[in-house]
Amino acid sequence: MKKIVVLVSGQGSNLQALIDACQQGRIAAEIVAVFSNKAQAYGLQRAEAAGIAAHALDAKAFADRVAFDAALADAIDRYQPDLVVLAGYMRILSPQFVQRYAGRMLNIHPSLLPKYPGLHTHRQAIDNGDSEHGTSVHFVTEQLDGGPVILQAKVPIFPGDEEDEVVERVQTQEHTIYPLVVNWFAEGRLAMRDNAAWLDGERLPEQGHAAD
């Protein structure tokens, strides 16, 4: 069975969705450890409650981002993971870290990439009058939120929507599609080649496979 390490910075709702999917047999893999850059991250408590090793590393204890990422990678590698999953991990990764896990690191981003990379995606979508928003699962590359998209899910934005309503809609989709994509990887169906995502031997289009 393949082994997964998850990185979190906060509440860890996507982590919980992955834990649940593993326990229910919807992901053919085991989460062997969870790491956070914040000792108070609730995601660590979620891991402990599920009997998963939980670790926090304090970035302030390291000289710079490269040093922190090197220590984090060494700690991750003790678990020999097949896949590293970012689930609300809010630090920008060093090129060295990204290269170390090239082709076996996934992220979920709350927008329909390439639209709205970075932060505050829901507010941007509302302020710009968008009628739809969504979430994207992608391979991680050195370009922030710019790796090959694997799967997207769209949600509507209705006139008068508050931000928390849009967030809830997006997160509901995230909790569905992230376990699905992680399982594709665990089953050996998903790969990154030539800076593109490939599923079942077919190159996916630029915005991945849309799950409407």
- Could you list the residues known to form a binding site, using ranges: 12-14, 65, 90-93, 107
Contacts by residues 158-163 (CB-CB < 8 Å, ≥ 24 positions apart):
161/126, 163/122, 163/123, 163/126
Active site residue 109: yes
Dist. CA 141–CA 148, nearest whole Å: 8
**Pairing mode, if any, of strands 190-193 and 149-156?**
unpaired
Alpha-carbon distances, residue 33 vs 54, 59, 106, 144 (angstroms): 6, 19, 15, 24
Q: Residue 31: helix, strand or coil by DSSP?
A: strand
Dist. CA 190–CA 169, nearest whole Å: 26
Binding-site residue positions for (6R)-10-formyltetrahydrofolate = 65, 90-93, 107
Catalytic one among 109, 122, 138, 175?
Answer: 109
Q: Token digits for 110?
A: 């709350």
**For residue 191, what are the contacts with CB-CB under 8 A and spacing of at least 6?**
103, 197, 198
Angle at 68 between CA 17 and CA 138, to 5 degrees: 40
Is residue 198 within 8 A of residue 181, CB to CB? The reply is no
Dist. CA 195–CA 192, nearest whole Å: 6
User: Could you give the residue numbers annotated as active site?
Assistant: 109
